[in-house]
Structures are given as C-alpha cells and as structure tokens.
Amino acid sequence: MKRVISILGIVCLLGAAAYAQKASPKSLFFVIDVSGSMQKNQIFEPLKNEIIKYIKTEAEKGDFVSIITFGTDVKLIAGEKISEDNTATNIALLVERVSKLTAKEQYTHMTRALDLLASQMGLIKAANPQGMVKAFLFTDGKNEPPPNAEGSQWTFDEILKKHYNVFDNPATYLFIITLGIQPDEELVKAAEGKKDKIFINTVPDVTKLEEKNIIPKELPQIAPPPVPFVALEMTGPDEIKAGKEAQYKLKVMFKEAKDGAEGKKLPLMVELSPENDFSTEKGEVTIMNGGEETFPIIIKSPAVGSYTLKIRFQPREEMKIEPAFFELKFGVRKPDRTLLFVLIALLAGAGAVFLFVKSIPRFSDDYLVVNPKEGLSYSLKEKQKWYSSSISSRDLGISDADFKLSMNKKTGEVAAKVLQDGEWKEIVLNSGDVIVDPYRFEIKIV
C-alpha cells in the first residue's frame, strides 16, 4: 500500500507543479535515481511512465528539458531544446531516452547529482534569466556515494552553499520527491533556509509559482565552501640509462593536503623536450596528506643527451595547487656494459677451461701401479689431477722410484718416462710390464 501511495504522490506533485499560467520558454530538469532498489521496489517503471506523461503534456516549443541519472555514477542523459520546427521529434526523443532507462546500480550518489543539477540550472538561468526553471529529483534512498569516488565526502549543505546563486534566484524551484521512505535528514536540514525554493514531498501554492519576483540588489553574504588545497614537491633521477624502454621514475610528494583535497585524483600533463615517444602507466595520482606516489614514465629508445620534463597538474574541479607546474632536467647516458663484458669473459674463460679439461685423456678405474714385493697397488684414476694428463711417482706417494705415466688419447697406449743411464727414456707399457723395479703397470681384469 505504501508503494501505491508513493506513486500516486508522484502524480499529484507533478500535476501540482505543472498547474500554472503558461509561460514560455521554461526549463524542466528530471533527476532520477537508477540504483537497484528502484527496480526491486517496483517503483521505477511507474515513475518513468509519470515522467513521460509529464513531458508529453507540459513540454512546449522553446522549452529546455534535461534528464540526469544518478547511482554509482552521475550522468547527463539528455539536454534538449524543443524547437518550433521539430517539436514532436524532440519530445519523442526525450520520451525514448526515459523509456530506455534501467535501475541496476549499486550506490546512490545524490550529492554529486545535486551538484551537477545546480551547475546545469545555473547555465540555463544565465542564458534565459526570465524563464521559469523547475527541477524534480526522485529517489527511494538516502545519499550513499561509492567509496573513494569523486565528491564522496560532499555534504548537501556544501552543495547548496556552493550554488547559492542558483537556488536564491527568482523563478527557480527544486522539488525533491522521496518514494516510500523518509527524506535524508541532512538534506532536510540543509534545505531549511530555502523553503520557498526547495520543496521536499510538497509544492507551494501553484498560483504563486509564476510570479516574477524582483532580484534583490544584494545577494546574501554566504561564505563559499573552502577550496581544496594541496602543496606538492617533485623529484626524479638526474640520469637514466638509454635503452629500448628507458624508465624515468617521477616521485610526487604531498607535503600538505587540506579542505577536502585528500583522496582526490589529480591528473598530470607531461611534456618531454626534445620530443621523444613516451608513455605513462597512469594519467593521475591520488592525493595523500604527507604521503608520496611514484609516477613512472617510459621513454622509447631515447638518444643520449639532455632532456627536460614539464609536468602540469590540471584538476577536474576547483583546487588550489602549490606549485601546479614543475620542470625537471635529466640526462640519458649509454648503458654501462662493463659488467656484461666481465660476465662474457668469465663465461668464455670457463668454457675454455671446460674444453681444456675435456681434452685431457683420463686413466680408467682398472689402471694400476703395483708393488708385488710389498703387496701394494696404486689407482691411477684416483691420483690423476683434473688439469694434468700424466701421473708421477710422487703423485702416487712413491718415494723410492722416479717415473711419470701418461696416456695417448688417440691410441689409448700408456707410456712411462723413466731415468736410465742418466737419461729420461719413454717406453710403451703393456699390462704386467716393469716400470722401475719393483713397480709394474697392470690393467686389472674384472
């Protein structure tokens, strides 16, 4: 039953606001909540039908009609002036845009919607000072902006003070219609001083809506809301290495952020001189009080030399930035390849050593030197050094003889150098041959 009463209330309020002496041109604004609850509560379709009916019956030649939606985002869906030549077409287009609206969004960003509405109303009023301006805002919820969104910290009081010249203007009216709920307490409190301009779930005596009030010579002295302020510092490296994608790490430091600046996005405009292709991973930084953020700039194949970066901040809303422009100079130098050369040299050296070691003939496990008198045997493989192709008696730990054994890599023959008659002689050994008495060379048979 409450939902039916709410929809009937829409009909009554729209009808009451419409009943007045015909005056042209006028401007009509429809600000529509498109959060999912509007669809869930079966409010959305009846609301669209009433808005369509109102547009068809009330919009005339020369009128301006605007449609704004708000949920997670705030969007200007239509802004049409109904021309004399295409009245039917213009109205049909507006009706089509309303009929295609859907209500699926998660949040209800009402303060930002009110801010956009006031801005649009101000523009229309400036273009047509004598025309009537009426705005209707429909919602079934309270202000619930998405976290960290632009304007998420705004209050209704701040918005009304910011746009005081709009809502204090003669023949400018805002009707706020809540569907099935009590209106937002903060909104009601903010609108208390404008009861003759902002009407929540009610309308004034319709016969007085068309009266042309005289604009007061002096507007009320209402202090505008404070302008967000941020103090910045910016640093970057004096030199970077040349390369296919050279990286310049720009560091933005937030020395101070106040009056609502913290959490806002701050876009950067970057210029590079002399000109060179470059890209950035992001186009903005997030303001943090006392924090810092890195802003990488990728420069494509820069030539060696000196460069200048010019960085300018361009906020999306009024904001005081100190300073708002930076100029940083840096140099691009050739990459230091010393380490690479050292690494290549080490790899080459290691490769040469590997090939050298691999080229050394190695004795197998079954090659032995034996001393039958003492019953001793010596394994050649165990005593062969990794860098040597021969084994001496000293390597084997033999002190009462002097000889040296080596292997021919091609033939596999084992030869011994022995001292005979004061001269070193080389003899080829077969298994069982005497090297120097009593030591023999043997190939162990497994």
Q: What is the pLDDT of residues 140-191, one digit of tens each?
A: 889 999 988 888 899 999 999 998 888 777 788 898 988 878 888 999 999 9
CA distance 195 to 137: 16
Domain boundary among 316, 333, 350: 333
Phi, psi angles (nearest 5°) of residue 55 = -60, -45
- DSSP assignment, residue 24? S
Contact 376, 370 (CB under 8 A): yes
For residues 294 and 425, membership in a common domain is answered with no
More confident residue, 4 or 348: 348
For residues 172 and 314, membership in a common domain is answered with no
Non-local (6+) Cβ contacts of 6 within 8 A are 43, 179, 180
CA distance 21 to 210: 7
For residues 165 and 301, membership in a common domain is answered with no
For residues 323 and 376, membership in a common domain is answered with no
For residues 233 and 193, membership in a common domain is answered with no
Does residue 210 have a pLDDT over 50? no
The closest alpha carbon to 132, from 217, 58, 33, belongs to 58
Q: What is the pLDDT of residue 118?
A: 92
Predicted confidence band of residue 114 (pLDDT cuts 50, 70, 90): very high
For residues 201 and 233, membership in a common domain is answered with no
Q: Is 39 inside a domain boundary?
A: yes
Q: What is the pLDDT of residue 135?
A: 92
Domain boundary among 317, 333, 349: 333
CA distance 93 to 90: 5
Domain count, the chain: 3
How does 181-202 read in b/e, with b if 16+ C-beta sit within 10 Å?
eeebeebeebbebeeebbbbee
Distances (CA, A) of 20 to 122, 208, 361, 399: 23, 8, 114, 130
Does residue 192 have a pLDDT over 50? yes
Does residue 337 have a pLDDT over 80? no
For residues 187 and 66, membership in a common domain is answered with yes
Question: In 79-168, where does DSSP find H-type helix?
Answer: 87-99, 110-127, 156-162, 164-167
For residues 250 and 311, membership in a common domain is answered with yes
Domain boundary among 208, 238, 267: 208
Average pLDDT, the chain: 84
Q: Is 32 inside a domain boundary?
A: yes
Does residue 11 have a pLDDT over 80? no
Predicted confidence band of residue 203 (pLDDT cuts 50, 70, 90): low
Q: Where are the beta strands (DSSP E) in 97-227?
A: 132-139, 172-178, 198-200
Contact 91, 99 (CB under 8 A): no
Q: Is 168 inside a domain boundary?
A: yes
Q: What is the mean pLDDT of residues 418-446?
A: 86
Pairing between β-strand 292-300 and β-strand 278-280 as defined by DSSP bridges: antiparallel
Q: Is 350 inside a domain boundary?
A: no
Does residue 207 have a pLDDT over 50? no
* Residue with the two structure tokens 């569907």: 179
Share of the chain above pLDDT 70, in %: 89
Predicted confidence band of residue 357 (pLDDT cuts 50, 70, 90): confident
Does residue 137 have a pLDDT over 90? yes
Domain limits for position 166: 2-208
Pairing between β-strand 367-371 and β-strand 439-443 as defined by DSSP bridges: antiparallel
* Low-confidence winner among 102-116, 309-323, 334-348 (lowest mean pLDDT): 334-348
Q: Is 314 inside a domain boundary?
A: yes
Residues in a beta bridge with 411: none
Predicted confidence band of residue 420 (pLDDT cuts 50, 70, 90): confident
Q: What is the pLDDT of residue 115?
A: 94
Predicted confidence band of residue 112 (pLDDT cuts 50, 70, 90): very high
For residues 171 and 241, membership in a common domain is answered with no
Q: What is the pLDDT of residues 41-62, one digit of tens each?
A: 888 998 999 899 988 988 888 8
SS3 category, 361? coil
Predicted confidence band of residue 2 (pLDDT cuts 50, 70, 90): very low
Q: Is 351 inside a domain boundary?
A: no
Does residue 275 have a pLDDT over 60? yes
Q: What is the pLDDT of residue 202?
A: 76
* Low-confidence winner among 148-152, 201-205, 367-371, 388-392 (lowest mean pLDDT): 201-205
Predicted confidence band of residue 386 (pLDDT cuts 50, 70, 90): confident
Q: What is the pLDDT of residue 214?
A: 27
Q: What is the mean pLDDT of residues 248-273?
A: 90
CA distance 223 to 141: 30
SS3 category, 418? strand
Does residue 301 have a pLDDT over 50? yes
For residues 327 and 242, membership in a common domain is answered with yes
Q: What is the pLDDT of residue 222?
A: 38
Q: Is 221 inside a domain boundary?
A: no
CATH of the domain at 14: 3.40.50.410
Q: Is 43 inside a domain boundary?
A: yes
For residues 313 and 396, membership in a common domain is answered with no
CA distance 376 to 439: 9
Q: What is the pLDDT of residue 324?
A: 87
Does residue 348 have a pLDDT over 50? yes
Q: What is the pLDDT of residue 132?
A: 86
SS3 category, 73? coil
Residue 437: how many other CB atoms lie within 10 Å: 9
Q: What is the mean pLDDT of residues 36-41?
A: 90
How does 35-58 read in b/e, with b if 16+ C-beta sit within 10 Å?
bbbbeebebbebbbebbbebbeeb
Does residue 128 have a pLDDT over 90? no
C-alpha 395, offset from chain centre: 69
Q: What is the pLDDT of residue 23?
A: 53
CA distance 41 to 138: 14
For residues 153 and 37, membership in a common domain is answered with yes
Q: What is the pLDDT of residue 158?
A: 92
Q: What is the pLDDT of residues 60-109, one digit of tens each?
A: 888 999 999 999 999 999 988 888 888 888 999 999 999 999 999 999 99
CA distance 277 to 331: 16
Q: What is the mean pLDDT of residues 358-376?
A: 89
